Structure 1
């Protein structure tokens, strides 16, 4: 039986209990829950391997195997699996109450914007807010984040979310304001609006129904590429062509990508709210 490596919670040694009878491994485990405690981490194909995707602060994960300084995990957000540094994880799991609604924000040691920041967080980071101090949210995990940058409810327009990241550098496998790729941008925009979305463009194309007419919020697909329609004629995407998140005319993009030999245009899909 062929299983998608990206979504299969198993290493060459250990698999999740749910794969008993499906995948032959020397050992099986129920795994244990953990959460990302650093601003951002690469999900790698192997310890010290190639980056597949990234996970942001507060991401819920299931730990399947620990090997030296590394842990093999599966992300609750989209089922993506990979290796990351075990030191990036915590088993302290206070309830998630908010998420970062700005392109990026800073975490401060106190409710004072003049204090030296502890670190930065990107759009989509998940937060456990324990209280409000002035114009800051106090995190149960430590630190304070400006209230202007957080939300406790989903956004309503994926295009508005994607526009927050205009100019962000292109990064293969990236999922943050420090670098993002085409599928990372689509996932960030839809997830912010409460719409479940896989991590890679081929998976995204298979997740949503086709639509003949392009409307705002639709996903547009090419082989290995995805964009978000801002209107029937304009799209937003993270592209290696400009190494950034840009706006581009849809007809121009179709012609340019075809001319480069990276086509054809595969059509549009319409995301639907989860549930």
Structure 2
């Protein structure tokens, strides 16, 4: 790795409160990350939360992305749903358009799109679903960057649709031998130690691989690193990772 040339984007899922319910540590995290993925009201968030989160991201100079998910508030968008290609296109278009309106009113520019939860994981392995997502984004605004799991169908579909893509890796999740994330139902799905999470990311950047939970060494490309904003120690994870990256001479920059 060329230390003098290398930089990385650090993103976090945000705006996931709803009504009187607050979730995450958005203000603290916005001081640490370079990109924010803002919930669009279907799996989490609501119009007022969306606007406030956009305002906060702009104050911190953080790039704003839409974080569309399945219409599943009760399940936080983490339950699989079977939709037609057109339903997926409409789902994506509706949510991006909603957030784009708030960003426009606040004087900002929408930077990227990152699907959420079950929608993200399903699109990682389903080309038709990935193509529906990428196609909806390209038809709406081809300047938007598509964030997707490194090595996934979503990345391939984005490239085929003419979109700029950002291969995403995860600081706080473990991996399967096929490069997918370990399902949250698995007891070893999450990393709970900030130092261990930072070590995983640094290894990814140095070796372009990740070690799956069965020991398999999986090739990986990292353009952006995700920290889940709803994690109990999300701020600690972000600060530890940022410290390690800067110590290695790796700058934090928006894609």
TM-score, normalised to structure 1's length?
A: 0.28
Q: Which structure shows the higher helix fraction?
A: 2
Larger radius of gyration: 1
Q: Which structure shows the higher strand fraction?
A: 1
TM-score, normalised to structure 2's length?
A: 0.30
